[in-house]
Structure 1
């Protein structure tokens, strides 16, 4: 009888252990980007991505987050589809034509197991702005504005291939 109880306990333990390993392996199958920012008005942020640094950004390859405006810093969360390994990003920082300043404290890439955080001057070194943004590196503020009737403020990542590979490595 004791032998049966010990066998059942062992079986239960090994099943739990295998389930835990499977779950932790699965954690590394998707990418999350969290942007810690202060955005004054409600808006929509999008991240376009490409799994090949040479490819163009396609409309179907994007994730979106609704942003609630406020005076405090908030975490804007993007979860990419499972088994998507983007090597470059385009972060659209507003669709609602707000000509205001946003502050970005950090951009964090995470797989659940591993993470890479860009903060302070690292943001300016790893992401470049387009003509719809005036960037102030000393305060990490991004002034979004309309130019000739058009509005499309975004940040482009430089080549993040090494960082992405390291994130998905064990």
Structure 2
């Protein structure tokens, strides 16, 4: 009886596999690692090597901390270059602060373009319109004509050039990064 059951079982298995594609003939499915879909960037002329940094909040406040920050090395160039910060997935970005370097000898930084991407949506400003969306730190000066910022270096103070978000930027981020879309990530 055991032999009959075994023969019936094997017949069912073999009949069930009839017409199946062998595993070696199945197409190979490739999965790509997805990069962040939320990015903050600027196109600028930065003449000397430096490190730019952004801080971000997720609670609507301006309480920026070292826990939510990204740094990008910038190679000095006389040509405009993109400086891009890829933000972590699944964040609820509400505000950003940009620190424009650590190099005290940097000099003038010319802002050509600033953008925030969220998947296929983008907020973008060009030239000196950038300064409508940020408030300069106390040791910075702006040239609207050149669309540039220059840090005023003082020997007795800490060098930390910062651009704080203006309420106009906060409103644009809110429109671009709708809460329900962020939750879907």
TM-score with structure 2 setting the length: 0.72
1:168 aligns with 2:168: no
Aligned-residue Cα RMSD (Å) equals: 2.6
Tell me the residue number matched to 2:121.
114
- Gapped regions of structure 2 (runs ≥ 5): 1-18, 20-26
Q: Verify the 8 A CA contact 1:47 1:90 in the aligned structure 2.
A: yes
Partner residue in 2 for 1:7: none
Q: Does 1:149 align with 2:165?
A: no
Give the one of 147, 163, 172 matched to 1:140: 147
Is the 8 Å Cα contact of residues 48 and 106 (structure 2) preserved in structure 1? no
* Alpha carbons 2:61, 2:95 under 8 Å: kept: no
Q: What SS does structure 2 have at the residue aligned with 1:85?
A: coil
What are the residue-to-residue correspondences of 1:93-104 with 2, within 5 Å? 93-104=100-111
Cα distance in structure 2, aligned partners of 1:158 and 1:149: 24
Deviates more, 1:125-134 or 1:142-151: 142-151
Aligned pair count reads 151
Shift of 1:38: 0.2
Residue by residue, what CA displacement relative to the aligned partner does 1:66-103 show, whole Å, maximum 9, x if unpaired? 00001000000100000112211110000122240010
1:158 aligns with 2:183: no
Q: TM-score, normalised by structure 1?
A: 0.77
Bigger CA radius of gyration = 2
Structure 1 contact 51–86 (Cα < 8 Å) conserved: yes
Match of 1:83 among 81, 84, 90: 90
* 5+ residue gaps, structure 1: 5-11
> Relative to structure 2, which stretch is displaced further, 34-43 or 136-145?
136-145
- Structure 2 residue matching 1:163: 3-state secondary structure: helix
Per the alignment, residue 51 of structure 1 pairs with 58
- Aligned-partner SS, 1:122: helix
Query: Residues 99, 109 of structure 1: CA spacing in aligned structure 2 closer, same or farther, 3 A cutoff?
Result: same
